[in-house]
Structures are given as C-alpha cells and as structure tokens.
Amino acid sequence: MIIDTDIHSTIDPRRVADFLKEPWLSRYRSGNRGPGHPGYWNPNGVMRSDVVLPDGTRIESRPDALSRHFFDANDIAYGVLNAGSLHIGLTPEPDYAAAVVAAENDVLAADWLGADPRFRASLTVSPADPELAAREIHRHGDNPGFVQVLMPSASRMPYGQRYFHPIYAAAAAHDLPVAIHPGSEGVGISYAPSAAGYPSTYLEWHTGLVGSYIAQVISLVTEGVFVKFPTLKFVLIEGGMCWLPPLLWRLDKNWKALRMTTPWLVRPPSEIVFDHVRLTTQPIEEPENREHFRRMLEMFPAERMLMFSSDFPHWDGDTPDFCAGAFPDALRPRVMGETARELYRLPGA
C-alpha cells in the first residue's frame, strides 16, 4: 500500500471566489491574496514542466487528471492533498486570511474530496488568529475527507507558545494531527528565513528551511504542547529527516541539566518526539554513500515516524519507486504506507 502524504493539487481561484463574500470577494478578485513569496529565483521553476496535458491544463489542476495520471500511474492507495494558501496565513490581516483559507477548504470539500475515494486533504488554517483557526477546524473537523490541520512552517513566534494552543485544542477535539509545510519563511509577518537573516539566493534559502523545523520542534516540546494535549500528533512535511537524531541528542542532554526550567517535562524530550512527531520523506537525503543514510535510520524509530511523500508536482519531488528503494526491505512497508494509514485512520488493503 502506497500512501502519499504531500500532493500539491491546485485550486481554481474562480471557485474560491464562489465561496467568498464581501468585503473579501472584491479584494480577492483584484489579485490581492496575501503577502506573496520571498522572491528568490528558482531556475527549475516551482512546478514540473512535464505534467502539462494536451489540452494545456496541468495534471494537478483537475481531480480527474490527478486520479488518472498520478494516482493510477503510481498505484497510490490514498493521497493527502495540500492545496491551501499557506502564505496568506502570514498576512497581518487575520480576518482576510481566515476568509480565504475557509473558502479554499470549501472548494476542496465540494470539488475534490468526493471526486475520488482515494483523495484526502489537509484542512488549511491561518495561525494569524488562533481562535478563528479553531473555529475553522470545528467547522470541517468531522468531515472524514480532511485528515489533518495544515499551517505554514514559518510563524511570527514559535508554535509551542500558548498563543497557538486554541488550534491544538480544536485539532485534538477532532482527533486530527497538525502539520506544517515549508515555503513561507521570510514572508509577511514571519521571521527572517534563517537565524542569520535573509539569504541572497534560492539555493541558500531552500537549503536552510530546515532551521524552521528545528526551532518549531524545540518549541513544541519544551513549551509542553504534547503534555497539555497528550493525544496530539504533529507532522513535519517536506523538511527531511536526518537532522532529527543530533537535535534530540542535544535536547536530551540539555534537558538533564536544565529541566528545572520546564518542570512539566517529566521524561526525555526524545521520547516525546518519538511518540508525537511524524516526518514525511521528501526531500529525502541523498548522500554519496547510501549506507550513511541507512545508518541514520537506525538512530530514531523510523518505522513509526516516517511517511512517504512525493511532493508532486514540485520540481524536486520524489517518485514512489525512487523513495522505496532508499529504505531497507523491513522498513519499506511502514514508510510507504502503514504509518500514514494508522495516523490518518485509513482503511487497509
């Protein structure tokens, strides 16, 4: 069973407009849709150029095309569509951001989730106003097509802080994981893309995105999110994986000496991460010596933490066969489908 946890279908802005009311509708139609992108130039383009159909449309733009040309072609049992506008979650205007992502969620529910029984989707929320985000989770949280809550990986403050806890309370109430996805670093009201400031090139920006994940994991654990919400799972999409073991070694060591500052943590941070955090595979690390990668897999419970993702149709995506070949035989079924099936409570084969 192959379950793809990161597919970037696209939503037609004209359909989003159908679900918007004034004063947001005119603004959306004018093209004002949030703070935009950081502006770094990617010579490959963001989307693959080889997924254009004969009629000029793209595979990811229509449910029927995505079913036939991606799900059928790759024998995908289920796929999670991450189609919402993450960047708008970092606009300084929280009401507009909440209205746009709510309309996008409505389009997903109306046009996509019923189009193919293999389709599942992330429920996008704007973290700019956690109370509005919680309201959106409650609005769609019982729809079985939505299997997780999605936010940008960049934020105006670390995600462990209590400001964001209403989002986690709502997600936990509906037994939904919360996920973050990169690309919004340096956008809108978020912090700079790196701890050192603003990079000069896409190469530097793209490589350093993992810094957001490191900071967010430390914050979520040390602020006690998983103590306060013991059933909550957190998914790190498109952040890689090999940075995790050395981070947890450092975090465990420091916790032993400084645990007085976080009295709510009564067990090593690594154990909390192993229980509550899941990671998707793309962009999978590719060292020259593939044995080095497999050694890294032995340093954390990859069999219950890793989930396959293609990142289709982004320029640096990974096909299922390419990803499967990177993992030992014993680990492959868990990574390619079983861990995601359990997390998202999907039917078995």
Q: Would you state the structure tokens that stand for residue 21, as one six-digit string?
A: 């009311």
Residues ≥6 apart with Cβ < 8 Å to 145: 108, 109, 113, 114, 119, 120, 121
**The two three-digit tokens of residue 56, written as one number:** 């000029």
Q: Could you tell me the two tokens for 150?
A: 């999605």
Which amino acid, 69? H
Q: Tell me if 257 is assigned to some domain.
A: yes
Burial of residue 196 (number of CB atoms within 10 Å: 0-12, 13-18, 19+)? exposed
DSSP letter, residue 194: B
pLDDT confidence of residue 349 = 60
Task: Say if 349 falls within a structural domain.
Answer: no
The reported pTM is 0.97
| In a domain? residue 285 | yes
pLDDT at 348: 82
Q: Is residue 326 part of a domain?
A: yes
Report if residue 203 sits inside a domain.
yes
CATH number (domain holding residue 171): 3.20.20.140
- The answer to whether residue 87 is domain-embedded is yes
Cα 235 from Cα 150, distance rounded (Å): 9
The number of folded domains in the chain is: 1
Rounded to the nearest 10 degrees, the angle between the axes of helix 94-107 and helix 130-140 is 20
Q: How far apart are alpha carbons 325 and 277 in whole angstroms?
A: 24
294 CB burial (10 A radius; 0-12, 13-18, 19+): middle
Report the alpha-carbon distance of residue 267 to residue 32 in Å, rounded.
47
Residue 91 located in a structural domain: yes
Smallest CA-to-CA distance from 82 within 14, 6, 166, 22 is with 6
- Rounded CA-CA distance 238/281 in Å is 7
Mean pLDDT per 10-residue run, the chain (349 residues)? Answer: 97 97 96 87 90 94 97 98 94 96 98 97 97 98 98 97 98 98 94 94 94 97 98 97 97 97 97 98 94 97 98 94 96 98 91
Helices (H), 130-268: 130-140, 165-173, 202-207, 210-222, 225-228, 244-258
What value does the CA radius of gyration of the chain take, rounded to a whole number of Å?
19
Q: What are phi and psi of 79, to 5 degrees?
A: -145, 140
Nearest Cα neighbor of 177 from 141, 210, 221, 212 is: 141
161, 155 Cβ separation under 8 angstroms = no
319 is written with which tokens? 């096909």
Supply the range of the domain harboring residue 275.
2-344
